[in-house]
C-alpha cells in the first residue's frame, strides 16, 4: 500500500469512531425530564412534631383574641328592630330541672351537648324545632339532659348574644332567653342583637333589668363564652349546630328521626331504653 493511501486511511478512522459514538448514544432509552428528576435522590423534609402543636395552639389563641375583640367592639346598625316587633316566647314548664345552660335532671343517664350560634339559621331551626322534641321525649322523662355551649362564629353580634344568655342564666332564664333570641333572629349582623335590644329582651322576659344590664355591660361572661369557643375548637366541631349525643356526633339541623336514633342507640349502650315508661 502506498504512503499516500495509508495516510488517507488513518485520517478516516477518527470519523468512524465519532459515528460509532453517536450511534451508541442514540441507542440509550429516552427518559422524560420529569422521570429523570424523580430518579434523583431527595432528602425527605420532616416537620417537627412540636411545630404542628405550636401552630395549632397559636391559631386557637388568635381565634380567641379575635372573638374577644368582636365582643368588645361597638355595634352599630341602621336596621335595629323596635321593641313592638319582638316575639316573646312561651315560658318553659317550671317542673323541668335546669341549672345554668343545662336542661334536665342532673341524674339523667345520657348527656347531650350542643354547640351553637344564635345568629346561625340552622341553629335556629334546631333550637325551635328539634330541641323541643328531644325535651318532650327524653328530657321530661329523665332519660337525658341537654347542655348548651357557645360557638359564636357567624358574625359580630354573636359573642354579645351568647354573653346575654349567660346573664339571663343568672336569673334561671337561659332557656327563655335562648328562645327569645331564636324567635327574633332576622339575619346575621343586621342589628337585632345589639346591646340595646339584648337589654329589651331581658325586660320583655320580666328579668331584673338592672342586674342583667350590669352583667352585660361589664362583660361578666366574656371569658366563659371564649372558653366554650376554644373547647369547640379542641373538639374539632365542624360547624353549627353540632350535637354530641353521648359518643355520637350529629352535625346540622337533621331530621328528628336521626337524633332519636342516636339517642336510643346511646341509651341502649347504657342499658336504658328510649321508650316512654
pLDDT, averaged per 10 consecutive residues of the chain (277 residues), comes to 53 42 34 38 38 41 49 43 74 88 97 98 97 97 97 98 98 97 97 97 97 98 98 98 98 97 97 63
Domain 105-269: give its CATH architecture. Answer: 3-Layer(aba) Sandwich (3.40)
pLDDT of residue 274: 56
What are the residues whose beta carbons fall under 8 Å from the beta carbon of 258, sequence distance 6 or more? 250
Domain ranges of the chain: 105-269
DSSP 219: T
pLDDT of residue 109: 97
End-to-end CA distance of the chain: 123
pLDDT of residue 105: 96
pLDDT of residue 91: 83
pLDDT of residue 234: 98
Q: Say whether pTM exceeds 0.75.
A: no
pLDDT of residue 272: 78
CA 22 to chain centre: 66
pLDDT of residue 94: 79
Amino acid at each position: 500500500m502506498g504512503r499516500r493511501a495509508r495516510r488517507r486511511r488513518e485520517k478516516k478512522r477518527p470519523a468512524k469512531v465519532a459515528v460509532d459514538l453517536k450511534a451508541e448514544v442514540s441507542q440509550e432509552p429516552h427518559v422524560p425530564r420529569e422521570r429523570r428528576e424523580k430518579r434523583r435522590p431527595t432528602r425527605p423534609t420532616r416537620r417537627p412534631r412540636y411545630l404542628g402543636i405550636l401552630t395549632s395552639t397559636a391559631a386557637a389563641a388568635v381565634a380567641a383574641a379575635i372573638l374577644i375583640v368582636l365582643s368588645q367592639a361597638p355595634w352599630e346598625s341602621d336596621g335595629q328592630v323596635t321593641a313592638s316587633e319582638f316575639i316573646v316566647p312561651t315560658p318553659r314548664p317550671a317542673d323541668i330541672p335546669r341549672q345554668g345552660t343545662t336542661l334536665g335532671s342532673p341524674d339523667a343517664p345520657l348527656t347531650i351537648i350542643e354547640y351553637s350560634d344564635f345568629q346561625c339559621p340552622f341553629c335556629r331551626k334546631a333550637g325551635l324545632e328539634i330541641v323541643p322534641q328531644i325535651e318532650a321525649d327524653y328530657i321530661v322523662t329523665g332519660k337525658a339532659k341537654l347542655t348548651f355551649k357557645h360557638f359564636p362564629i357567624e358574625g359580630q353580634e354573636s359573642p354579645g348574644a351568647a354573653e346575654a344568655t349567660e346573664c339571663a342564666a343568672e336569673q334561671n332564664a337561659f332557656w327563655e332567653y335562648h328562645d327569645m333570641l331564636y324567635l327574633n333572629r332576622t339575619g346575621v349582623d343586621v342589628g337585632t342583637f345589639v346591646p340595646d335590644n339584648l337589654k329589651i329582651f331581658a325586660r320583655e322576659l320580666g328579668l331584673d333589668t338592672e342586674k342583667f344590664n350590669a352583667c352585660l355591660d361589664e362583660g361578666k361572661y366574656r371569658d366563659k363564652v371564649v372558653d366554650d369557643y376554644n373547647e369547640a375548637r379542641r373538639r374539632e366541631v365542624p360547624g353549627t349546630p353540632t350535637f354530641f349525643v353521648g359518643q355520637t356526633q350529629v352535625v346540622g339541623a337533621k331530621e328528628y328521626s336521626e337524633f332519636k336514633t342516636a339517642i336510643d342507640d346511646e341509651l341502649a349502650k347504657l342499658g336504658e331504653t328510649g321508650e316512654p315508661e
